[in-house]
Every structure is written in structure tokens, then in C-alpha cells.
Chain A
Amino acid sequence: MKDIFFDQIGVGDQLPSLTKAPITRTTLAYFCGASNDHNPVHVDSDFARASGADDVFVHGMLDMAYMAQLLTAWVPQTAILTFGVKFGAIVYVGDTITCHGEVVEKIDRDDVYILKLKLRAVDQHGESKLSGEAQVRVHAPKDTARP
């Protein structure tokens, strides 16, 4: 992670993308326990099929946790002011998720420097799975930051 200065970032700049390993049943089992989301539709294939799904599918909050990693790889977590997503399509076991972010607006609010980011996650076929946005605080313009 390197320091981000307000004047060195432009609208349209991309965050470094994050591609996670293919999501396995083991990953879902870990996330079930770690996240307190014990809904069997994410870990029990028999239950998932009985409830009408083809197979177990991924917790939305796991996809959102991956998207959070895109942000925290770029700025410290304490710089994140807001973070929201919409879960657009179900992610299945075996899918590979890649998270992307783009700067869409720069806001100077009384010398608090904020970047508004547009976020999206896609699977290995490029199909959109999750969309969202975040606002992160960054350093003052480098020229004015000097004492």
C-alpha cells in the first residue's frame, strides 16, 4: 500500500484489480463458520438441491469481503468512509472472482479529501456479479501538504 495524494489521482483512474482463487467448498465451509452465516444453502449440497438450487452457492458477504480487500489493499481501512454493494447475480462454487474499482469523483469537503469509487466484481466469464461504491479519504494534495 502506498500513500494516495488527492492531486495525484484523476477521475477514471483504476484501482489495482484483485483476482481471488476459485471458490471451493472448503472456502464456503470456512466462511460459514468464520462469518456466523450458517445457512445450509451455502455448504450442504443436499439441502441446496432440495430448496431448488443447482448446488451450493457463495455467501454474498464473501464476495463483499473480497471487494473490501480491493479497498484495503489500496488505502488503510480507517480511510474508508462508506462502502456499499448490490448483489446482482449468484456466485457458484468453482467461480473465480475479480474485483475492480475506478475513481468516479473527487470531493474536497472543507479540506477533507475524498475519492468516490465505483466498484464491480465479475466471474471468470466476465459476467457481473456485484456492483457497488465506496468513499475513501486520501491525503491532501502533495504540494499543499508540505510544511
Chain B
Amino acid sequence: MLDKTLIGKSFPPLVVDVDKWQLKFFAKAVDEKNPVYFDEGAAIAEGYRSILAPPTYGVTLGCAVPDPFARAKAVGLNASKILHTAQSFEYFEPICGGDQITLVATITDVFERRRGAFKFMVEETVATNQLGQLTTRFRQTVVERG
């Protein structure tokens, strides 16, 4: 059974240092050609504090925990059967290497479809930087297929 009492619950903040080396590794993994994503000098020349984190990087920061599926498990999903079905972002201030980002995740919905054959969880995460500025707010939907 899904635990709908967790809808609206916020989890303890996750504080993550944005590692320049990992940004360079991410750029390598996605075969990024634009140097603002892996060369600090190029990023600073473009007006950023340091290497720019790419648009989807908030999810990577949110996964910087021992068990990224902890919330899904808490609502009763089977982590080994989870698929990511939707992801969206709103953007405010950019995230750069050397930043310290605080992420607060809230479960915004838990529901079933087709008599429980598909179990969904939606969560929203707010990410603020060390200056207290909102950087991004993102929404993730995962499904467990029976």
C-alpha cells in the first residue's frame, strides 16, 4: 500500500558542495563541447563564478546521498522496479562550481493507476545557493510498474 500521509511532507535539507572535478566529468560523460561547462577560465570570461553546471545538474546534486530512492521507499514503492517518467525544471540563478547548494525535497503527490498496477510518486525540490538565492525548482515523477 502507498503511504499517502507523506504527501506534503518535506525532508531534511541536503547540503551539497558543487565539485568542479565532477562538473568536468559530467561534461566528459555527455560529450559536451562548450567550454563554459568544463573550463573555469572560459566560464569566468562568460561572467560565471566558475564552471557552469548544466541545466539538468540539480537532479545530480539531489542524488548525492547514500540512497537516492529513500523517499520512494518511504511511500511504499519497490526501488528495483522504479522508472523515471517525467522531469521538469524552472530556472533562476545559475549553479557554478564551488557553490554550496541546499536542496529541500517535498513529496507533492502519491497515486495509483490501473488498480495499483502503476504506482506514482511526484516530488518537488527547491535548490538555493550559499547566497540564499533560489537557483532552480524541479519536479520529478517516478513510477513503479507492477
Main secondary structure of the interface of B (DSSP, over half): mixed
Q: List 28 A-B contacts (CB under 8 A).
A: A30-B28, A30-B29, A34-B26, A34-B30, A35-B60, A37-B60, A38-B68, A51-B80, A61-B59, A62-B29, A64-B87, A65-B30, A65-B54, A65-B56, A69-B32, A72-B34, A77-B36, A77-B52, A77-B94, A84-B87, A84-B89, A85-B87, A85-B88, A86-B85, A86-B86, A87-B84, A87-B85, A132-B88
Chain B residues close to A by CB (< 8 Å): 22, 25-26, 28-32, 34, 36, 46, 52, 54-56, 59-61, 63-64, 68, 80-81, 83-91, 94, 139
Q: State A31–B30 Cα separation when bound (angstroms).
A: 7
A71 within 8 A of B: yes
Cβ distance B128 to chain A, nearest Cβ, rounded Å: 17
Alpha-carbon distance A69/B30, docked complex (angstroms)? 9
- Whether the pair A81, B90 counts as a contact (CB closer than 8 A) is yes
| List of 9 A-B pairs having minimum Cβ-Cβ separation, nearest first | A84-B88, A36-B63, A30-B29, A34-B29, A34-B26, A68-B55, A60-B84, A31-B29, A34-B25
Range of interface residues on A (Cβ < 8 Å):
35 or more
Q: Is the CB of B89 within 8 A of A83?
A: yes
Closest chain A residue, CB of each to CB of B143: A87
Is A33 an interface residue, CB under 8 A from the partner? yes
Complex CA–CA separation, A27 to B32 (angstroms): 12
Give bound CA distance, A87 to B84, whole Å. 7
Q: What residues on A are CB-neighbors of B36 within 8 Å? A: 77
CB distance from A121 to the nearest CB of B (A): 13
From B54, B61, B64, B81, contact of A68 by CB (8 A): B54
Q: Please judge, given known A-B contacts A65-B56, A81-B91, whether A87 and B22 are in contact too, CB under 8 Å.
A: no
- What is the distance, in angstroms, from B18's C-beta to the closest C-beta of chain A? 12
Minimum Cβ distance to chain B for residue A95 (Å): 15
The yes or no answer to A66 lying at the interface (CB within 8 A) is yes
Apart from A35-B26, A69-B54, what 13 extra A-B contacts exist at CB < 8 Å?
Answer: A21-B31, A31-B30, A34-B60, A60-B87, A62-B29, A68-B55, A72-B55, A73-B34, A77-B94, A82-B88, A84-B87, A84-B89, A87-B84
